[in-house]
Structure 1
Amino acid sequence: MVLTVLLCLIPVLPLVAPVQYYTLDTPLGKVTGLHLTLESGATIYQFLNIPFALPPVGELRFKKPVPAERWRSIHDGTEHGPSCPQEIPAATKVILQNTELSEDCLHLNVYTSGGLTTTANKSVMVYFHGGAYLTGQSQLYDGSGLALNGDVIVVTANYRLGVLGFFSTGDSVAKGNYGLWDQIEALRWVKNNIRSFGGNPDSVTIFGQSAGGFSVSLLALIPENKGLFNRVIMQSGAFSSAYAVNEKPKDFAITFSYLAQCKNMQTSQAMLDCARRLPLDSIIPTQKNAIRMAMLSPGSLFHPSCAPVIDGELIKQDPMLSVKNSSSDVYTFFQSLDVMAGCVDGEGSLINFILPYMEDTFGFNTSAGVPTSVLRSYFARMIAEELYNNKSNVLKAIVDKFGSSDNEIQARKIVQLYGDIFFYVPMIKALDLHASDNTESKTFQYLFSEQNPLPVSGMPPPSWFPWAEHGADVMFLFGLELMEEMNVPMSSSIKGFVMQFRTYLANFAKYGDPNRGIGDGDRWPEYDSVNRSYIDLTASSISQHQSMYSDRVKFWETDLPRIASTMVTGGAASLTTVRWIGPIILFINYLFWFMRM
Structure 2
Amino acid sequence: MFWLYGGGLNGGTIFNTMSNGSYLAAHDVVYVSANYRLGKLGFLYGGNGSTAPGNVGLYDQVMALKWIRENIHSFGGDRDQITVFGESAGSRSISALIVSPETKGLFRRVIMESGANLHYKGRQQHTTDEALVESQTIAKALNCSEDYESNEMLDCLRKRDPKDFSKFQQQFTFPLEGTDFLPISIQQAFQEAKYNKDLDIMAGVNRNEGSALALGGFPQLHHNITDKDFDDMVIKTNTSYHGLELQQVRQFYLKEVNKNHSSDELRQAFYAFFGDIHVKCPTYLTAKNYAAKSSSKNGVYMYELTYESKFAKIMGCDEKTMGICHGSELEFVFGLPLWVDKIYPKTHTQLDVDFSLYVMKLWTDFAKYGKPDAQWPQIFDKSLINIKDLNPTNTSRVLDNPFAGDCDDFWITYYFNLC
Shared fold (TM-score, shorter chain, > 0.5): yes
Which residue in the other structure is 1:257 paired with?
Answer: 139
Q: Which of the pair has the greater relative contact order for Cα pairs under 8 Å at 6+ separation?
A: 2
Question: Is the contact made by 1:533 and 1:546 (CA closer than 8 Å) also made in structure 2?
Answer: yes
Q: Which residue of 2 aligns with 1:350?
A: 213
Any residues of structure 2 matched to 1:59-98 within 5 Å, and which? Answer: none
Map Cα deviations across residues 563-590 of structure 1 (whole Å, 9 max, x no partner).
xxxxxxxxxxxxxxxxxxxxxxxxxxxx
Of the candidates 202, 214, 231, which is equivalent to residue 109 of structure 2?
231
* Pairing 1:190-201 to 2, within 5 Å after superposition: 190-201=68-79
Report if the CA contact (8 A) 1:384-1:394 is conserved: no
Match of residue 233, structure 2, among 353, 356, 378: 378
Alpha-carbon distance between aligned partners in 2 of 1:384 and 1:156, rounded to the nearest angstrom: 33
Asked if the contact 1:409–1:464 (Cα under 8 Å) also holds between the matched residues in 2, the reply is no
> Using the alignment, how far apart are the partners of 1:339 and 1:454 within structure 2?
29
1:169, distance to aligned residue in structure 2 (A): 2.2
Q: CA RMSD in A?
A: 2.8
Contact 2:377–2:386 (CA<8 Å) still a contact in 1? Answer: yes
Q: Structure 2 counterpart of 1:508, which letter?
A: F
| Structure 2 residue identity aligned to 1:425 | C
Q: Which runs of 5+ in 1 are unaligned?
A: 1-124, 296-303, 360-364, 563-597
Given the alignment, which residue of 19, 22, 34 partners 1:157? Answer: 34
Q: CA–CA distance in 2 between the matches of 1:558 and 1:231? A: 26
- For residues 206 and 456 of structure 1, the distance between their equivalents in structure 2, rounded to whole angstroms, comes to 29
Say if 2:151 is the partner of 1:266. no
559 and 191 in structure 1: CA distance in 2 versus 1, 3 angstrom threshold: closer
Matches of 1:178 and 1:254, distance apart in 2: 18
**Superposed, which structure 2 residues align to 1:117-196 within 5 Å?**
125-140=1-16, 141-148=19-26, 150-173=27-50, 174-196=52-74
1:539 deviation in Å?
Answer: 2.6
TM-aligned CA distance change 1:495 to 1:441, over 3 Å: same
Q: Which residues of 2 match residues 425-440 of structure 1 at below 5 A? A: 425-437=281-293, 438-440=295-297
Moved more, 392-401 or 403-412: 392-401
Deviation at 1:463, TM superposition (A): 4.5
| Conserved 8 A contact 1:402-1:414 | no
SS state at 1:526 partner? coil
Question: Matches of 2:88 and 2:117 in 1, distance apart?
Answer: 11
Q: 1:245 to 1:232 in 2, by over 3 A?
A: farther
| TM-score relative to the length of structure 2 | 0.86
Pick the structure with greater CA Rg: 1
Match among 372, 378, 381 for residue 514 of structure 1: 372
1:336 and 2:213 are equivalent in the alignment: no
The residue number in structure 2 matching 1:308 is: 175
The aligned runs of 1:417-428 (5 Å cut-off) are 417-428=273-284
Rounded to whole Å, the distance in 2 between the matches of 1:236 and 1:561 is 17
- Could you tell me the TM-score, scaled by structure 1's length? 0.62
Q: 1:324 to 1:561 in 2, by over 3 A?
A: closer
Name the CA shift for 1:421/1:372 in 2 (closer, same or farther; >3 Å): same
Distance 1:456 1:185 in 2: 37
2:190 corresponds in structure 1 to 323
Q: Separation in 2 of the partners of 1:524 and 1:218? A: 26
Which amino acid in structure 2 is aligned with residue 546 of structure 1? D
The one-character-per-residue Cα deviations of 1:492-527 (angstroms, maximum 9, x if unpaired) are 111111111011111110000011xx5xxxx21110
Which consecutive aligned stretches of 4+ in structure 1 deviate over 6 angstroms post-superposition? 559-562
CA contact (8 A) 1:214 1:238 kept: yes
Asked if the contact 1:346–1:415 (Cα under 8 Å) also holds between the matched residues in 2, the reply is yes
Structure 2 residue runs without a partner (length 5+) = none
Q: Aligned residues, how many?
A: 399
**1:447 maps to 2:309:** no
1:206 aligns with 2:84: yes
